[in-house]
Amino acid sequence: MVVLYPGSFDPVTNGHLDIIKRCSKKFNKVIVAVLNNPSKKPMFTVEERVKLLQEVCKDYDNVEIDCFSGLLVDYAKKRDISAIVKGLRAVSDFEYELQMALMNRNLDNDIETLFLMTSAKYSFLSSSLVKEVARFNGDISDLVPKSVEQAIKVKIKGE
């Protein structure tokens, strides 16, 4: 089975990698798809996020990194994928992700959303929090892979 793990990944965190690693063990193929959302002002471009994900996922033979814009269900249909994986950290995530899953199901009844709970040690972790801590020179070394930490520091230095 091929599954789709979509997100902004701005930047990719150890929580994201936890979900990717676990999915790579359970499914034949995992497509990690970076959302290009022009209405947001990300720290990293889509190309940079794809490159960072390729770097940190290079040891997973069954993980492919891609990007998309527009509706997730349209991308899933284009790639012939019928299962979307979403990571959940807390009850607040569930509310939002349930709405999205139901909307996606409304748009295409053949697409299922699978929810995967994050590991407890990453339950507080978000890309936004990582960026905020990094901007105030806080230690993010346990929150993101080393290459991502370095990329964040370079971006902040250039701001």
pLDDT along the chain (159 residues), means of 10: 97 97 98 89 95 98 97 97 94 90 97 95 93 96 97 91
| Catalytic machinery residues | 16, 40, 89, 127
Torsion of CA 20, 39, 83, 10, to 10 degrees: 0
Question: What structural domains and CATH numbers belong to the chain?
Answer: 2-158 (3.40.50.620)
48 is in an annotated binding site: no
pLDDT of residue 41: 85
Confidence (pTM) = 0.95
88 is in an annotated binding site: yes
- Which helix (H) or strand (E) segment is 95 a member of? helix 91-107
128 is in an annotated binding site: yes
From the number of C-beta atoms within 10 Å of its C-beta (0-12, 13-18, 19+), residue 72 rates as buried
pLDDT of residue 106: 97
85: phi then psi, degrees, rounded to nearest 5: -105, 130
Written in H, E and C, the secondary structure of 99-159 is HHHHHHHHHCCCCEEEEEECCHHHCCCCHHHHHHHHHCCCCCCCCCCHHHHHHHHHHHHHC
The share of the chain scoring above pLDDT 70, in percent, equals 100
pLDDT of residue 93: 87
119 is in an annotated binding site: no
pLDDT of residue 37: 83
124 is in an annotated binding site: yes
pLDDT of residue 158: 83
**Edge-to-edge strand list for the sheet holding 112-117:** 63-68, 29-35, 2-7, 83-88, 112-117
∠ Cα 126 73 46 (to 5°): 45
